[in-house]
């Protein structure tokens, strides 16, 4: 058993506090920037230049924060709109929907690719790798924040989180491990010479959906529909979409 007493704040300077949660996002965005910038040097993606990477990253950051935050309070915590609507603006408190962020990123990426004549599938492939790393860091930050806790359990590695009754599954760490598995799979697939553009992107969507459904069995979320939590239900849709994308990609005889 582990008693959680980790301080979510790294350090403070006067009224300004730097939190682990914020650091996770900063590192995730930096990883995406570095990777995309690296690919521009190798001319991996046609029409993607270093300058365009910089503007794309700005759109990406705004999309993740705005869309992820809105989805969190529309689908997962709608009661906040009535009790304390300003909580939506307090990003440092944590609370960001992955599915919402994904929708925002997809919309911004589609618009950006159309504007600059960049392959959506190729950019989607490239972005999937740092996305998996970002999600890993995000779940570690969730654990530090003592949020998104698991169900009550008596396993030896259970955690007593502040503000929660009993000892619980460290579901955040399970999900962090899941995201590392996804990253390893995508990194392996990236080196496959026979892959078509879009393979990494659709694989990421399908794999995340499948593993999130499985791992969320240990997360203490309310049931939404057909015995699934909201997160599991949305992840099930992701699995079907990602699998459908892969099947279409490789059943289509068109050369990419």
DSSP-assigned letters across all residues of 191-246:
T-TTPPTTHHHHHHHHHHHHHHHHHGGGB---EEETTEEHHHHHHHHHHHHHHHHH
Confidence of residue 72 (pLDDT cuts 50, 70, 90): confident
**Rounded CA gap, 106 and 155, in Å?**
39
In a domain, 149, yes or no: yes
User: Which residue blocks in 19-91 are alpha helix, DSSP H?
Assistant: 20-41, 50-71, 80-83
Tokens of 98: 């992955």
| Ramachandran assignment for 93, one of left (phi > 0), alpha (psi -120 to 50 degrees), beta (any other) | alpha
From residue 191, give the alpha-carbon distance in Å to each of 44, 128, 194, 195, 216: 13, 14, 9, 9, 30
pLDDT at 150 over 70: yes
pLDDT at 95 over 90: no
pLDDT at 47 over 90: yes
Tokens of 158: 């259970």
Confidence of residue 255 (pLDDT cuts 50, 70, 90): very low
In a domain, 57, yes or no: yes
In a domain, 44, yes or no: yes
Cβ neighbourhood burial of 23 (10 Å; 0-12, 13-18, 19+) = middle
**Rounded CA gap, 19 and 12, in Å?**
9
Q: Quote the pLDDT of residue 103.
A: 93
Q: Give the CA dihedral 123, 126, 131, 132, nearest 10 degrees.
A: 140
Mean pLDDT of the region 18-41: 95
pTM to 2 decimal places: 0.89
Out of 72-76, 220-224, 232-236, pick the least confident: 72-76
At 95 the three-state DSSP class reads coil
pLDDT at 242 over 50: yes
Total of domains in the chain? 1
Give me the percent of the chain exceeding a pLDDT of 90. Answer: 75
CB distance 158 to 168 below 8 Å: yes
CB atoms within 10 A of CB 147: 17
Confidence of residue 184 (pLDDT cuts 50, 70, 90): very high
Q: Which domain holds residue 170?
A: 2-251
In a domain, 256, yes or no: no
In a domain, 85, yes or no: yes
Q: Quote the pLDDT of residue 94.
A: 64
Out of 74-83, 84-93, 109-118, 231-240, pick the least confident: 84-93
């Amino acid at each position: 058993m582990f008693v959680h007493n980790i301080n979510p704040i790294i350090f403070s300077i006067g009224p300004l506090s730097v939190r682990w949660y914020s650091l996770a996002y900063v590192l995730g965005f930096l990883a995406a920037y570095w990777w995309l910038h690296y690919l521009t040097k190798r001319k991996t993606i046609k029409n993607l230049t270093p300058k365009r990477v910089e503007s794309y990253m700005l759109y990406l950051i705004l999309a993740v924060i705005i869309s992820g935050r809105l989805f969190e309070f529309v689908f997962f915590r709608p009661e906040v709109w009535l009790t304390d609507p300003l909580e939506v603006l307090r990003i440092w408190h944590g609370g960001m929907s992955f599915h919402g962020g994904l929708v925002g990123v997809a919309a911004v990426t589609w618009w950006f690719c159309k504007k600059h004549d960049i392959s959506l599938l190729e950019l989607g492939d490239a972005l999937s790798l740092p996305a998996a790393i970002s999600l890993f860091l995000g779940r570690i930050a969730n654990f530090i924040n003592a949020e998104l806790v698991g169900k009550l359990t008596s396993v030896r590695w259970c955690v007593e989180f502040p503000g929660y009754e009993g000892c619980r599954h460290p579901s955040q760490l399970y999900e962090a491990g899941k995201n590392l598995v996804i990253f390893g799979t995508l990194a392996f697939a990236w080196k496959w010479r026979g892959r078509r553009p879009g393979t990494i992107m659709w694989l990421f969507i399908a794999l995340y959906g499948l593993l999130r459904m499985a791992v969320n069995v240990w997360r203490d979320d309310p049931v939404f529909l057909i015995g699934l939590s909201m997160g599991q239900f949305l992840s099930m849709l992701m699995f079907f979409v990602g699998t459908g994308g892969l099947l279409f990609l490789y059943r289509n005889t068109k050369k990419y």
